Structure 1
Amino acid sequence: MPPKTTSTPPKTTNTPSKTTNMPPSATNTPPSASTTSPKTTFLVTGGNRGIGKGFVEHYLSKPNYTVIAGVRNPNDATSKALFGLPKGPGSSIIVVKIDSASETDAASAIKKLQSAHGITALNVVVASAGISKVFPPVSEAKIPDVLEHFSVNVLGIIHLFQAVLPLLNNAKAPKFITMSTSAASLGDMEKRNFPNTPYGTSKAALNYITRKIHFENPKLTAFPLDPGWVQTDMGNDGAKALGFEKAEIPLGVSIDGMTKVIAAATREKTSGKFMFYNGTVEAW
């Protein structure tokens, strides 16, 4: 039976409406992950292969990440395949051309990220691209080989850093990480005393550049990170050239360790140190 109608107006009370004053957290529909936390913008070079791709897969699967993969050729099948990787809620991927042998690619990529994609800040940049082609002792090293490794593994990182620095400075607690190797260690050289002059010397120089970045940029958390001897194409090729069946560490183990190091890294505790993928500190 419907309620009787009367001319008496309904009573008003001072009790606030439960629906209008209910806080958002009390609603039945929880907010999505993409609306509860800001996005993290992560850029990695060498993003379509090996360690770089491992980083892309890891961060893209997390919620609220914009993952930027720098690759030598965006039209290559390995680069196009990145768009099909699993994505966490609110996460997306951008692929840009960054050839570490180029003097202009990194700067051009940053301009494109700003103009075409609206990227205004970078939270984390990992310089993962690099080469390791020949393994001679010093007495047999060819200068063109040494120069090629320096061009990619050292100068390429300088070009990258100069290009990304303004966007890193726009982030709240930015991090700049370079991929190093125990082969670059002077203090522990006897532990990895293999004939790899072009690669080892270029990575030792990279360590210097990265530590210098730490001292020159007090806002940054900057450090070289040794992924270990990882079972990638480059790692396994190097292992075979030196007489081993394959490299030592599965890619997933290395990525899991490195991402934990990056997540925990701070200016006070990590920056300016030579870090290993398991969180320990290596000798320069």
Structure 2
Amino acid sequence: MNNQVVLITGANRGIGLALTEQYLINGCRVIATCRDDATTTELMSLQAQFADKLLIESMDITCPDTIHRLANNLCQQNISIDLIINNAGYLDRDNHSIHAIDYADAEMCFKVNAIGPLFLIHCLLSLLNKTRLCKIAIISSSKGSLTEPQGVDWYGYRMSKAAANMLAVNLSKELVDDNVAVVSVHPGWVQTDMGGSAARVKVIDSALGIIKVIDQLSIANTGEFYNFNGEQLPF
């Protein structure tokens, strides 16, 4: 793992920040992207520790122009990527019922959770390392499962995570001959700004679990959906 190049979206806080730190500790070079430069305080602290390993890039997953710019910047630096982790996420927290829907909020879920990752991968495909197995991880949610028993909640979030799962399935089938393995991962109910303080899973435990799932990803199990603890989930 220690010579891999890992690109992580939404890396300025929560799970993304923890993933960034752990991959740096493991000796990887990390490209950490986030939307707002003003929120990179903790990333800058990591950069002071891993100056030659951490590259911080500004990118808004909902803005194609910034995704294009990121891809061009990395291309100009002759950077080859081994692993893309689509971690940036958005939750339409108040969309609990069809009778009270904030459409713009639901639409933002699709932009951040599904359409943005689709365009990002499209733009970065040419930068994937062609010399060995490459991986793409999509941080999804069990809330996007069509078969898991659950109640009504978060229309935009759940619909967009189902779409993200379909993105993983489609990519796994199209990219298998290019030696690219794809996985969808449920991070658990995590103690982040999104998950809240009542959540059951610590950020570090989620991050370490996600890394283990990615480590075990291969062409043999590409296109599957896993919990952060390694349990396979139904789509």
- Same topology, TM > 0.5: yes
Cα separation, partners in 2 of 1:246 and 1:168, compared to 1, 3 Å: same
Q: Does 1:278 align with 2:221?
A: no
Evaluate the alpha carbon distance shift between residue 80 and residue 170 of structure 1 in structure 2; reply closer, same or farther with a 3 A threshold. Answer: farther
Deviates more, 1:148-157 or 1:174-183: 148-157
The residue aligned with 1:239 is none
1:42-62 CA-to-partner distances (Å, cap 9, x unmatched) read 000001011110110101112
1:54 equivalent in alignment to 2:14: no
Q: Which runs of 5+ in 2 are unaligned?
A: none
8 A contact 1:60–1:88 mirrored in 2: no
Which residue does 1:193 correspond to in 2?
151
**Counterpart amino acid of 1:72?**
R
**Structure 1 counterpart of 2:82, one-letter code:** N
- % identity of equivalent residues: 28
The residue that corresponds to 1:209 in the other structure is 167
Q: Secondary structure at the match of 1:274?
A: strand
Query: How far apart, CA to CA, are the structure 2 residues paired with 1:195 and 1:128?
Result: 21
1:158 is displaced (CA, Å) by: 1.0
Tell which has more relative contact order, 1 or 2 (C-alpha 8 A, sep 6+).
2
Runs of 4+ with deviation above 4 angstroms:
86-91
Between 101-110 and 49-58, the greater mean CA deviation after superposition: 101-110
Unaligned runs of 5+ in 1: 1-36, 237-244
Higher mean displacement: 139-148 or 222-231: 139-148
Q: Aligned partners of 1:143, 1:67: CA distance in 2, in Å? A: 35
Is 1:170 matched with 2:130?
A: yes
Shift of 1:79: 1.4
Q: Return the TM-score normalized by structure 2.
A: 0.91
Asked if 2 retains the 8 angstrom alpha-carbon contact of 1:57 and 1:86, the reply is no
Q: Taking structure 1 as the reference length, what is the TM-score of the superposition?
A: 0.76
Change (3 A) 1:156 1:175: same
1:89 CA displacement: 8.2
Count of equivalent residues = 232
RMSD: 2.0
Distance 2:29 2:96 in 1: 40
1:1-28 deviations in Å (ceiling 9; x for gaps): xxxxxxxxxxxxxxxxxxxxxxxxxxxx
Which residues in structure 2 correspond to 1:179-258 (within 5 Å)?
179-188=139-148, 190=149, 192-218=150-176, 219-236=179-196, 246-258=198-210
Letter in 2 for 1:179: I
Larger Rg: 1
